[in-house]
Amino acid sequence: MKILVLGSGAREHAIIKALLAEEAGHQIIAAPGNIGIAGDVTVVGIDQENPSIVRDFARDEGVDLVVIGPEAPLVAGVADKLRAARIPVFGPNRSAAALEGSKSYAKRIMDEAGVPTGRAVRAETVEDAIAALDEYGAPYVVKADGLAAGKGVLVTTERDAAIEHATYWLGYGGVLVEEFLEGPEVSLFFVTDGETVYPLSPAQDYKRLLDADAGPNTGGMGAYSPLPWLDERFGGEDLFVDEVLKTIAIPVVQQMAAEKNPFSGLLYAGLILTERGIRVIEFNARFGDPETQVVLPRLVTPLSALLFGAATGTLAQQPKPAFAEASAVTVVLASENYPEKPVTGRPITGLDQTVAVDGVHLVHAATADVDGGLVATGGRVLNVVALGTTFTEARARAYDAIGRIQLEGGQYRTDIAARVAD
Ligand code: AMP
Ligand code: GLY
C-alpha cells in the first residue's frame, strides 16, 4: 500500500516503524515527519493542517490510505475533506474528534451511553466553579473544557490554586470541576470503523515530570506495556480489556453512531481503576504518545490492515489484533526546563552508541539536523524504546541506551516500569 502519515512526533515515528516492520513492504510518505522519520521513509513539507492541500497531495500521489497521527489535523477537518474525496483515511471527522476536544461533549456521550466516569460540573462563572470545588472537596480536579495542549488539567490539594486555574480557563470558555478519582491509570486504545471495535493491548503512561510522580504534568515521560498487575485484579489482561470494550468502548461508539456522528479511527480511553470500578478520565481521538511506542512493537498482526479496515468500514474482515508476550519500555528524553519553557538548539550526541544495545530502537520527536549535527528543537526530544523477555531486561536495556546519549540539561525519569521489574 501507499500510505501517507501525517504528523511529526515520536508517535508517528512509532506508527511508521510498525508499518515498515510488516512483510507487505509498504511505500510510506510522512508529512511533515522529522529528521528521524526522514531516515526511514520519504518526508514531504506539506501543511498537515490544511485539508485541501492534504487532499490534493494524496490524490496526486495516488495514496491508498492517509493516517492522521496528531489531533490538530483532525480538528482542522482534514479527515472530513479526505472522506468527501473518497480517499481512505484513518482518523475521525472533526465533529467526532470533539470526543477529545470538548470535555463536556465527552461527558454527555458517556452519560447517554451509561459509561462510568467521574462526576463533574461544567462551570460558567467563578462562583459556579467555587461551589463545585467545595462540593467535591480536596483534592481538586479542574479541567479546561476545550483543547488546551495538555495544560488544561490541574489536580491539586490547594483550594486557591484550583480557583486560580478555573478563573484563568473560564476566560477561554468553560471549565469542568470533577471529583478526584484514586487508583492506577491505564491507557487502552481501540481501533474502530464506527461499528466494529478492536482493542489493542493496555499501557501505562508516566504523566509527571519527575521520579515518584513528583513535579508538573507533562505530555508523558515514559510508558510500558503490557500491565502484568492486571492479572491479580481482573484475572488477566484479556478479561480487563473485554470489560472496557463492553462497558466503555462499544457503548460510546454505538452512541455516537446513533447520533449520526460516527467515530472512526483510534479511540483512546484514559482510565483510572478505582476501588469502585473502572472510570474514564478522558478520551482522545488519536494514538497516545508515548504509549504507542510500547504498544505497536508488540503487535504481531499487520497494523496496516487495522488502519485500512477502520478507514474503509471493513474492520470486521481484518484479523483481530494479537500481541507478542514481550515486555516493552519507553523512556522519554526531554530538554532542560521542559515542560515550562524548554531550552532548544542544544546538540545531541551518542545516538549511534545506542545501536549496540540489544532490543533497543529510537524514535524522534523534536530533533533537527543543523550543520550536519543533531540538535534538540522542542520539549520531548526523543524516546528510547526497549523490548525484552522480562521488564527487568527491557528496563535495563532502555536505561543502558539512554545513558549513552548526551544532551546538556536533558532530563528523563529513572523509574519507568520500575514497579513491574524485579
Ligand atoms: P487528562 O489531561 O484528562 O489526561 O488529565 C491529566 C492527568 O490528570 C491524568 O492523567 C490524571 O493523572 C489526572 N487526572 C485527570 N482527571 C482526574 C481525576 N478526576 N482524578 C484524579 N486525577 C485526574
Ligand atoms: N500520553 C498521553 C496522551 O497521548 O495524551
Go through the domains of the chain in sequence order and give each one's CATH number: 2-91 (3.40.50.20), 184-317 (3.30.470.20), 327-420 (3.90.600.10)
For ligand 1, whether the C-beta of 217 sits within 6 Å is: yes
350: left (phi over 0), alpha (psi -120 to 50) or beta: left
- DSSP 3-state assignment of 396? helix
- Residue 119 pLDDT greater than 70, yes or no: yes
Residue in the structure block whose three cell numbers are 532542560:
336
Give every CB contact of residue 366 below 8 A, 6+ residues apart in sequence: 9, 34, 335, 344, 376, 377, 378, 379, 380, 381, 382
| Distance of CA 56 from the midpoint of ligand 2 (Å) | 30
Q: Are strands 42-43 and 27-32 parallel, antiparallel or unpaired?
A: parallel
155 lines ligand 1 (CB under 6 A): yes
Q: What separation in Å is there between the alpha carbon of 23 and the centre of ligand 1?
A: 39
pLDDT at 408 over 70: yes
Q: What's the pLDDT tens digit per position in 318-356?
A: 999 999 999 999 999 999 999 999 999 999 999 999 999
In degrees and rounded to multiples of 5, residue 371 shows phi and psi of: 50, 45
> What pLDDT does 147 receive?
66
Q: Which of 289, 293, 380, 416 to mutate to test the pocket of ligand 2 (most atoms within 8 A of CB)?
A: 289
Task: Give me the half-sphere count of Cα atoms (radius 13 Å) on the Cβ side of residue 352.
Answer: 3
Q: Are 65 and 398 in contact (CB under 8 A)?
A: no
CA of residue 222 to ligand 1 center, whole Å: 16
Q: Which residues approach ligand 2 with their CB closer than 6 A?
A: 205, 220, 284, 288-289, 291
Residue 219 CB less than 6 A away from ligand 1: no
Q: Per-residue b/e over 249-285, b at no fewer than 16 CB within 10 Å?
A: bbbbbbbbbeeebbbbbbbbbbbbbeeeebbbbbbbb
Mean pLDDT of 249-264: 98
Q: Is the peptide bond before 226 cis (omega within 30 degrees of 0)?
A: yes
Tell me how far the alpha carbon of residue 396 lies from the centroid of ligand 1, in angstroms. 29
Q: What percent of the chain has pLDDT over 90?
A: 93
Residue 171: which pLDDT band, with cuts at 50, 70 and 90?
Answer: confident
Q: Give the closest ligand to the alpha carbon of residue 140.
A: 1
62-95, pLDDT tens digit by residue?
999 999 999 999 999 999 999 999 999 999 999 9
Instruction: Decide whether any atom of ligand 1 lies within 6 Å of the 153 Cβ.
Output: yes
Q: Return the minimum-mean-pLDDT range out of 102-106, 170-174, 194-198, 221-225.
A: 170-174
pLDDT at 248 over 90: yes
From 71, 188, 268, mutation site for ligand 2 pocket: most ligand atoms within 8 A of C-beta: 268
